[in-house]
Amino acid sequence: MPPIEQAAPAPGQAQAPSPAAADSPRQTGPCVMVIFGATGDLTARKLMPALYNLAKSNLLSREFAIVGVGRNDYTTDQFREVISQKLQSFATSALDNDLRDWLLRRIYYVGGMFDDPAMYTRLATALTEADKTHNTHGNYFFYLATSPVFFGDITDRLGAAELVCEKDGHWRRIIYEKPFGSDLESAKALNRQVRKVLTENQIFRIDHYLGKETVQNILVFRFGNGIFEPIWNRRYIDHIQIMVTETVGVEQRGGYFDMAGTLRDMVPNHLLQLLSLTTMEPPISFSSDAVHDEQSKILHAIQPLGGEDVLHNAVRGQYGEGTISGEHAPGYRAEQGVPADSRTETFVALKLMIDNWRWAGVPFYIRTGKRLAARHTEIAIQFKRAPLVLFRDTPVSDLKPNELIMNIAPDEGISLTFGAKVPGAQMRVGSVQMDFNYTDYFGSSPSTGYEVLLYDAVMGDQTLFQRADMVEAGWSVVSPILDVWKALPPRMFPNYASGSWGPKEADEIITRDDRAWRRIKG
Ligand code: BG6
């Protein structure tokens, strides 16, 4: 992560400092990025536009090359042409032709099956040539944008081909897309497997939520300000809600998604990242290990849900057909690649507790799902009510508790609600809101969210990546739920209509505690 610095443009005035400004992060060193799964969606939609943005911001070394590896039978020229077209569609701003051509000139392609030793020989040759042509000093990082079933085998084969051993002063790294494992046991097994070939500082387990400015801002908000941390605990906070709701369905990913389900797809990674950043203790520094130590501690402190708890505190759902934004949406079972009798969940709500001094007794309500009424990602911190109500014209029930909302998407910012006097002769209290919006203050610079992650990977900074123990701790939270759900298959699927807020059982998880989900405009 680039170092945290003070920057204070006035609202509506100066924009955020441009990446090329003198105090900006420095350019990466020379290297080759090898993308496994180079003809897939992630490469086209995120990785290539992110590399283009880094080059545009002058953050990418001129001594840089890309080798795409895929199962299609392209030549390098054909692959460049494909990438050129995809960039046209997915670049986050208008393309500069010179810069695009600069990037295309350093792209190469190696076709073949991931389990074919001959492909690794061809890859080694392509890397040697790229090294010579672009002076990349033997530094390589491999981005595995493939199905996770290939992660272990590709790592072994890269090891066997001696492409990941670090010697003669160069570095070699592998970035693993999520999901890293499909439960606790498989994540542990994969960790063991990759660590036979690599050391932990060569392993970058990605979670794209950590590339979001607003997610990184959780740490700055908490630890860059003096006034919030003293009230950030069970004495002042009543409960926390974390929601990631989507209006999209499974799109083209029915095959993968039906094997995974929302619990695996979203909770051990994205949702628990948001939870851990919101609840961790202050790290002793912003070094990667110091931050990971605190995240890991908090993940280990989440109370595991045992058999009975799962029945009470975990709710699953699957969408049926319905209407979203006035359009008819098909049910999950009618999606491409999904069996007509699928029992895979597309919605999850959980109530979690954290067993430590700071959070004892504070419930965390988590909700995530597809085809819901609105796309919205937020962390809502609800504070306790004032201890004594002095205003006799306002019934206690009308006094709203203070709420601090961290908006992650689609709005990006923070808002605080508090009570204010309603103008008039009576002493009445109304609820008002103070808003900070990223775009108002810093302007917006469109990005994919992958820029900072790729940049950090080349710089060798692992702060925004997950360490082995964090991944395993995330799965430890989720695995007992997976076990119970597997033993008790759902009987009432589909149980929510597309365009709704999920199954009614999800409401019970929170109304049982005399609380309610925050209402978001659909
Ligand atoms: C991905 C999941 O990791 O995150 C998807 O696999 C999900 O199912 C996506 O749609 C959500 O990401 P974002 O950035 O749109 O909130």
pLDDT digits (tens, 9 = 90+) for 393-450: 666 666 789 999 999 999 899 999 998 888 988 777 888 999 999 989 888 778 999 9
Alpha-carbon torsion (138, 36, 39, 99), positive or negative = negative
Instruction: Answer with the residue of higher pLDDT: 9 or 341.
Output: 341
Query: Which protein residue has the closest C-alpha to ligand 1 atom 5?
Result: 265
Determine the distance separating the centroid of ligand 1 and the alpha carbon of 372, expressed in angstroms.
Answer: 14
- Give the pLDDT band (50/70/90) at residue 13: very low
Please check whether residue 314 is in contact with residue 352, taking contact to mean a CB–CB distance below 8 angstroms.
no
At 278, which amino acid appears?
A: T
Q: How far apart, in whole angstroms, are the C-alpha atoms of residue 467 and residue 200?
A: 8
User: Which residues are catalytically annotated?
Assistant: 270
Please check whether residue 179 is in contact with residue 271, taking contact to mean a CB–CB distance below 8 angstroms.
no
Determine the distance separating the centroid of ligand 1 and the alpha carbon of 262, expressed in angstroms.
Answer: 10
Determine the distance separating the centroid of ligand 1 and the alpha carbon of 245, expressed in angstroms.
Answer: 10
- Give the pLDDT band (50/70/90) at residue 24: low
Identify the pLDDT of residue 175. Answer: 98
pLDDT digits (tens, 9 = 90+) for 177-191: 999 999 999 999 999
Average confidence score pLDDT of the chain: 92
Cβ neighbours, 10 Å, residue 247: 17
- What ranges in 224-271 are assigned the alpha helix state H? 254-266
**Concatenated DSSP letters for 388-402?**
S---TTS-GGGSPPP
- Give the pLDDT band (50/70/90) at residue 101: very high
First to last CA, the chain: 35
Identify the pLDDT of residue 241. Answer: 98
pLDDT digits (tens, 9 = 90+) for 373-401: 999 999 999 999 887 777 766 666 667 89
- Which strand ranges, in their side-by-side order, compose the sheet holding 31-36? 107-111, 64-70, 31-36, 140-144, 172-176, 203-205
How many percent of the chain have pLDDT more than 90? 84
Kindly report the CA angle at 363 between 362 and 365, in degrees rounded to 5?
150
Determine the distance separating the centroid of ligand 1 and the alpha carbon of 189, expressed in angstroms.
Answer: 25
Q: Any idea what DSSP says for residue 372? A: B
The structure tokens 């004032």 sit at 386
pLDDT of 15 over the 50 cut: no
Determine the distance separating the centroid of ligand 1 and the alpha carbon of 78, expressed in angstroms.
Answer: 30
Ligand 1: residues whose CB is within 6 Å? 178, 244, 246, 265, 377, 409
At 141, which amino acid appears?
A: F
- Give the pLDDT band (50/70/90) at residue 3: very low
Identify the pLDDT of residue 299. Answer: 97
Where are any strands of DSSP class E within 302-439? 314-317, 319-320, 322-324, 327-329, 347-353, 363-369, 376-383, 403-409, 413-422, 428-437
Average pLDDT over residues 467-486: 96
Question: E strand or H helix at 130, and its extent?
Answer: helix 117-134
pLDDT of 156 over the 90 cut: yes
Identify the pLDDT of residue 21. Answer: 43
pLDDT of 9 over the 50 cut: no
Is residue 43 helix, strand or coil? Answer: helix
Q: How far apart, in whole angstroms, are the C-alpha atoms of residue 245 and residue 371?
A: 8
Identify the pLDDT of residue 23. Answer: 56
Q: Which atom of ligand 1 is nearest to the CA of 370?
A: 10
Ligand 1 pocket check: which of 180, 253, 266, 412 to mutate, most ligand atoms within 8 Å of Cβ?
266
Q: How far apart, in whole angstroms, are the C-alpha atoms of residue 16 and residue 10?
A: 10
- Give the pLDDT band (50/70/90) at residue 12: very low
pLDDT of 22 over the 70 cut: no
Determine the distance separating the centroid of ligand 1 and the alpha carbon of 215, expressed in angstroms.
Answer: 14
Query: Which protein residue has the closest C-alpha to ligand 1 atom 14?
Result: 209
Identify the pLDDT of residue 400. Answer: 84
Identify the pLDDT of residue 393. Answer: 65
- Lowest-confidence pick of 16-20, 101-105, 194-198, 247-251: 16-20
Identify the pLDDT of residue 2. Answer: 46
Query: Which protein residue has the closest C-alpha to ligand 1 atom 4?
Result: 266
Query: Which protein residue has the closest C-alpha to ligand 1 atom 8?
Result: 265
- Give the pLDDT band (50/70/90) at residue 261: very high
Query: Which protein residue has the closest C-alpha to ligand 1 atom 13?
Result: 209
Ligand 1 pocket check: which of 182, 208, 372 to mutate, most ligand atoms within 8 Å of Cβ?
208
- Lowest-confidence pick of 11-15, 317-321, 455-459: 11-15
| Phi, psi dihedrals of residue 486, rounded to the nearest 5° | -70, -40
Determine the distance separating the centroid of ligand 1 and the alpha carbon of 270, expressed in angstroms.
Answer: 8
Ligand 1 pocket check: which of 250, 258, 265, 345 to mutate, most ligand atoms within 8 Å of Cβ?
265
Identify the pLDDT of residue 251. Answer: 86
pTM (two decimals): 0.92
Please check whether residue 503 is in contact with residue 315, taking contact to mean a CB–CB distance below 8 angstroms.
yes
Average pLDDT over residues 79-95: 96
pLDDT of 7 over the 60 cut: no
pLDDT of 287 over the 80 cut: yes
Ligand 1 pocket check: which of 214, 242, 246 to mutate, most ligand atoms within 8 Å of Cβ?
246
Q: Which atom of ligand 1 is nearest to the CA of 209?
A: 14
Identify the pLDDT of residue 18. Answer: 41
- Residue 97 exposed, middle or buried by CB count within 10 Å (0-12, 13-18, 19+): exposed
Identify the pLDDT of residue 394. Answer: 65
Average pLDDT over residues 16-35: 71
Q: Which atom of ligand 1 is nearest to the CA of 449?
A: 14
| Phi, psi dihedrals of residue 193, rounded to the nearest 5° | -65, -50
Determine the distance separating the centroid of ligand 1 and the alpha carbon of 230, expressed in angstroms.
Answer: 33
